[in-house]
Chain A
């Protein structure tokens, strides 16, 4: 199965700053079939990005995804208080679909 490794495990930043989260795959992901989710305590994941770089409906443009093959990134510019959460990547190019272990974005 494709293993997704996210880094860092925890990222401490202040509102207004920018965040870059990484997701590295154990093998190249076909057609950049990679998604990003945001998860807040007590809530299910929320789709942010699909196809590595396409924003889901209703997602602000301060969220952007990039990357290809094995290396992908999620960038959040101008952090808002509501952006502090756990972010997970998911590959859907192969079954079993797999998720990264998550990056916690916390307020510094």
Chain B
């Protein structure tokens, strides 16, 4: 059974860098596309970006200048770095897996999510 678990500091100071890791168990991260999504309290979900099995990325243009996502195949995990954070970046951060069909082709909705980790930006 594949499981995702987000890991990282729950408190980050303004102007610093938010760093999170998604630890994947039960399958190889090299087989799938992955994503980070966040949800401010009481608000809707916001897509942060997408990681290809190759390590290539797509980012949300609203965050692109500050975000980096990367694969760590040796440890079967992937990461998110968000620079120059402000209070507006306070949110519940999820990692998620894109669906793959029986032929091995991706489809870009999410069939597996981590439980999420709350990150608060505050001094």
Bitwise interface map of A from 78 to 103 toward B, beta carbon under 8 Å scored 1, else 0? 00000000001010100111111110
Assess A47 versus B46: contact at CB under 8 Å? Given A96-B60, A96-B61, A96-B62.
no
Query: Which of A33, A37, A45, A46 is the one whose CB lies under 8 Å from B108?
Result: A33
Interface size class of A (residues with CB under 8 A): 20 to 34
Which A residues are CB-close (under 8 A) to B45? 45, 88, 90, 99
Complex CA distance for A92 and B37, rounded to whole angstroms: 13
Tell me the interface secondary structure of chain A in the complex. Answer: loop
Q: What 1/0 flags go to B12-43 for Cβ under 8 Å of A?
A: 00000000000000000000000100000001
A58–B62 Cα distance when bound, in Å, is 35
Chain A residue nearest to B99 (CB atoms) is A50
Q: How far is the CA of A35 from the CA of B45 in the complex (A)?
A: 13
Which chain A residue lies CB-closest to B108? A92
Complex Cα spacing A101 to B45, Å: 7
Indicate if the CB atoms of A100 and B44 lie closer than 8 Å: yes
Chain B, Cβ-Cβ closest to A94: B108
Picked from A45, A98, A101, the residue with its CB within 8 Å of the CB of B110 is: A45
Interface flags, A21-46, vs B, CB<8A=1, else 0: 00000000000010101000001111
Please give me the residue from chain A that is nearest to B59 by CB atom: A96
Cα–Cα, bound, A43→B46 (Å): 16
What 19 new A-B contacts, CB under 8 Å, besides A43-B115, A99-B46?
A33-B109, A45-B94, A46-B113, A47-B99, A50-B99, A50-B109, A90-B45, A90-B110, A92-B108, A95-B58, A96-B47, A96-B60, A97-B35, A97-B50, A99-B44, A99-B45, A100-B44, A101-B44, A102-B44
> Which residues of A line the B interface, CB within 8 A?
1, 33, 35, 37, 43-47, 50, 56, 88, 90, 92, 95-102
Show the binding face of B for A, using Cβ within 8 Å: 35, 43-47, 50, 58, 60-62, 94, 96, 99, 107-111, 113-116
